[in-house]
Amino acid sequence: MVTRRRKVPLERPDRPYVALGLEGSANKLGAGVIAHLPDGSTKVLSNVRHTYVTPPGEGFLPRDTAQHHRDWALKVIQDAFKQASLRPQDIDCICYTKGPGMGAPLHTVALVARTLALLYGKPLIGVNHCVGHIEMGRLITGAQNPVVLYVSGGNTQVIAYSRQRYRIFGETLDIAVGNCLDRFARVIGLSNDPSPGYNIEQEAKKGTQLLSLPYATKGMDVSLSGILTAVEAYTADPRFKTNAAGPQDETSNIITPADLCFSLQETVFAMLVEITERAMAHIGSKEVLIVGGVGCNERLQEMMGVMASERRGNVFATDDRFCIDNGLMIAQAGLLSYRTGFQTSFEESTCTQRFRTDEVHVAWRR
């Protein structure tokens, strides 16, 4: 069971509140410490992360990712406290990712969080990973009431806030945009360091041909599995050359990996811009907040910016310190929840691979 002392939106704290956040829903293990101060401000005290990187052409398996988290948990948490100049005894609560995510890594981080809570007598706060991204984005950018485009390796959603819930207006019907990009990066042998999505973005900058790919928006939703199949099919085309010398154009009759990365990005991002614009029109918003690991992509930010400017609106995004999975976002969302009286009992301190954004009671907002 969970406990909640009060249900009213937050007022300024009467003292500093400090939280440790632990994130490990995929291949990033993060620990962050954040403080809410009596003047109403928020202070980032530390944000430490370590990434499990696999060889080119390989993804990361749940078992191996969980082992990475076990190997690095102690150092990452120690570094987070060292950067914050605090001890575990100094914090108010321990926040961890309850879901969604990969089962084995989630369980590893939940176990670490429970252990720390028992050792130091601190309350536990289970946090929805998606809400963590949203609250971190709102904090860093200052966006007030935006339409949120949440794009990552495991999630693709268009979200807006209403009546203490983050409502999902549209989402992927099959695979997430980050998963689509990552899988194609493996097909063409791009490195996983620092991430396959980043390397797709860099390769796309060299592309010169926009190739035909399925454009699959379905109302407010998108479908990405067919696009992935179609772009993979180009790699079997006789015109596809992995080592074509010099820049190509539409008359060269040669298709390069850069052309495929460029075409995949342009098509998928156009779909995401379209459904985000529909949500903006529906709720009358002039703000877009892009969160999640794919939100670091500068081309996505550029395309969204063009759309928003045409609607006399603004786009908000963060850099990779806060866009990519991190413990700080879990600390921020968890501390907001803790200050409304929420706690997760040890009996309920489990995790779940399926934890939808709109299941969370956002008690800290009006």
What the block records as the tokens of 306 is: 């063009």
Taking a C-beta distance cutoff of 8 angstroms, is the pair 129, 101 a contact? yes
Residues 6+ apart with CB under 8 A from 330: 21, 22, 23, 30, 32, 95, 96, 97, 127, 129, 132
57 is in an annotated binding site: no
215 is in an annotated binding site: no
152 is in an annotated binding site: yes
153 is in an annotated binding site: yes
Closest CA to 326 of 37, 111, 32: 32
182 is in an annotated binding site: yes
219 is in an annotated binding site: no
Any bridge partners for residue 177, and if so which? Answer: none
151 is in an annotated binding site: yes
* Pairwise CA distance, residues 117 & 95, whole Å: 10
Within 13 Å, how many C-alpha atoms sit on residue 151's CB side? 29
47 is in an annotated binding site: no
154 is in an annotated binding site: yes
Range list of β-strands (E), the chain: 2-3, 17-23, 28-36, 42-51, 93-99, 124-128, 147-151, 156-162, 165-171, 217-218, 221-222, 287-291, 314-317, 343-344
Q: Determine the length of the chain.
A: 366
Taking a C-beta distance cutoff of 8 angstroms, is the pair 262, 204 a contact? yes
* Phi-psi group of 21: left, alpha or beta (phi > 0 → left; psi -120 to 50 → alpha; rest → beta): beta
- 315-328: string of b/e by CB count within 10 Å (b at 16+)? bbbbeeebbbbbbb
133 is in an annotated binding site: yes
Strands 156-162 and 147-151 come out as antiparallel
CA dihedral 108, 29, 265, 136 (to 10 degrees): 110
* Pairwise CA distance, residues 156 & 246, whole Å: 35
Residue 147, phi then psi, degrees to nearest 5? -75, 130
Structure letter (DSSP) for residue 236:
T
Binding site feature residues for substrate: 150-154, 182, 197, 201, 297
Instruction: Could you list the residues known to form a binding site, using ranges.
Output: 129, 133, 150-154, 182, 197, 201, 297, 325
Binding residues for a divalent metal cation: 129, 133, 150, 325
